[in-house]
Structure 1
Amino acid sequence: MTETFARIALGPLLLIQGLYTRWVTPKLPEAEGERQGVAGRGVALRLLILGDSAAAGVGAATQDEAITGKLVARLANDYRITWTLWAQSGLDSRALLNVLERNSPEPFDVVLLCVGVNDVTSRISADQWLVQQDRLMELLSGKYAVKQIVVSPLPPMHLFPALPQPLRWYLGSRASRFNHRLAGLAERKDHCTLLAISLAPVAGLMAADGFHPGPAIYSLWADHAARAIQQRFQHNKNTGS
């Protein structure tokens, strides 16, 4: 069943399920804690964590338990990390573009980018979304002088326990299609690394809302992101670039 046909055939049901899910799903807060700091020792590395509610740490009590704290802790063993978190629940790609366009230029060596779930739940097409991802990447590499953009794939929404069927299937299908297009875009850009991780929900490891990661999943995500960053910057160090 194509997305267009699904919207026509299942549109009213998908709309009702979407509204109901928003109504009954617990609204969890963003993780508490600092949103910038310095940690570690070694080669200087300027890190930006950028994105939506997952980047903001929803599902973790503190930033130390969220993606920012986990990633900084792993990189601090080898780098002197100056880190910043720009993230907010509810942001879609258009809103994130507005943030980057509005903020003053500030150079970063590496950015962990996490955005897209709120786009999947909207009516934006994959083509329109890809244009926005391309613009995000160009803004980061241009205005913010980013050397590496580590892109987080959309999670497998067809496995989210908070979503009823057929809404779960529909959003999962869109997320998969968006990821496929995102992989092609990242492959065409030398400064982009798409993480090969699905962040699949695991029983007992998701947040209480059945929609966001819990600390254990944030930890796994940080492992993959740190590995990608270390591989890139170790290569640059070895080649003198």
Structure 2
Amino acid sequence: MDYRYAAMAMAPLLLAQGLRVRRTAMRLPEPPGPRSGTAGEGTPLRLLVAGDSAAAGVGAASQDEGLSGAIVGALQGRFRVSWEVRATTGLRTAQVLRRLESGAAAPFDVAVMSLGVNDVTGGTRSADFVAQQVRLAALLQSRYAVRLTVLTGLPPMHAFPALPQPLRWVLGERARAFTRLLESVAESAPGCVVLTPRLPLDVRYIAVDGYHPGPLAYAEWGREVAELVVRQFGSG
């Protein structure tokens, strides 16, 4: 059965479950630590990490254990990485787009975007999500001089312990659909790729809230981003 028809049929139950999750879910803070800096030796590389709570490192104890720290740690043996994090818990694609449109237009070589989960849970229409992602990819190239944009595929929401069934299944199917939408965007956007980290469905990779990545997930995510960067820019 198409999840959209199932979702319409179960709408009252899904709404009740969603409200209960919002009311009772554990809320982890954005971790402490620097959100910009320079590390490593080698060819200069300017890195932007932007988006939602995962881009902000929620689920890790510090920024060093979050996404930005994992990427920088995996690259600093090959590049001199100057990085900046522009991310806030709860943001959808439209909100990040507006912030980047009005923010300081510093140049970056690589932009790693973590977006989509809040669009899935917040009911962003598929067509709007695609249009916003197209605008985002173009903005990163034109305003921020980005040469490689990494759009992160959505996480396996169908396996999030914090979500009850059938809400978990419906959100998981919508997350898969949004990843396919990202892939369609990347196909027509030069310098844009989709990376869906190869994370095992293992509770050790999930934060204590049953929703966000944990340090092991961030480490693997960062390693896979680094592989893309090395292929694109060489070993320095």
Match of residue 71 from structure 2: 71
**Deviation string for 1:165-193 (max 9, x for gaps)?**
11001101111111112112212222012
- In 1, Cα distance between the equivalents of 2:14 and 2:200? 23
**How far 1:80 sits from its partner (Å)?**
0.9
Aligned match of 1:161: 161
Check conservation: 1:160, 1:201, Cα contact below 8 A.
no
TM-score (structure 1 length as normaliser): 0.94
1:49 maps to amino acid:
V
Distance 1:200 1:178, change over 3 A: farther
Matched to 1:104, the amino acid is A
Between the aligned partners of 1:8 and 1:214, the Cα distance in structure 2 is: 33
Letter of the structure 2 residue corresponding to residue 30 of structure 1: E
Equivalent AA in structure 1 for residue 157 of structure 2? M
d(CA) in 2 for partners of 1:196 and 1:61?
A: 23
Instruction: Determine helix, strand or coil for the equivalent of 2:132.
Output: helix
For the Cα contact (< 8 Å) 1:18–1:167, is it kept in 2?
Answer: yes
| Alignment correspondent of 2:215 | 215
Q: How does 1:109-120 map to 2 (within 5 A)?
A: 109-120=109-120
Q: Counterpart in 2 of 1:93?
A: 93
Aligned length: 236
Q: 5+ unaligned residues in a row in structure 1: which ranges?
A: none
Residue deviations 1:126-169, cap 9 Å, x none? Answer: 12111111111111011111010011100111111111111001
Matching of residues 16-55 of structure 1 within 5 Å:
16-55=16-55
Asked if structure 2 preserves the Cα contact closer than 8 Å seen for 1:201 and 1:213, the reply is: no
Contact 2:183 2:193 in 1 (8 A): no
2:47 alignment partner, SS class: strand
Supply the distance in 2 between the matched residues of 1:164 and 1:154 (Cα, whole angstroms). Answer: 19
Partner of 2:231: 231
Aligned-CA RMSD value:
1.4
- Residues 34-78 of structure 1 deviation map (CA, whole Å, 9 limit, x = unaligned): 010011111111100011000100000101111111110111111
- 2:32 partner letter: E
AA of the residue aligned to 1:12: P
Identify which range, 5-14 or 76-85, moves more after superposition: 5-14
1:38 and 1:81 in contact (8 A); partners too: yes
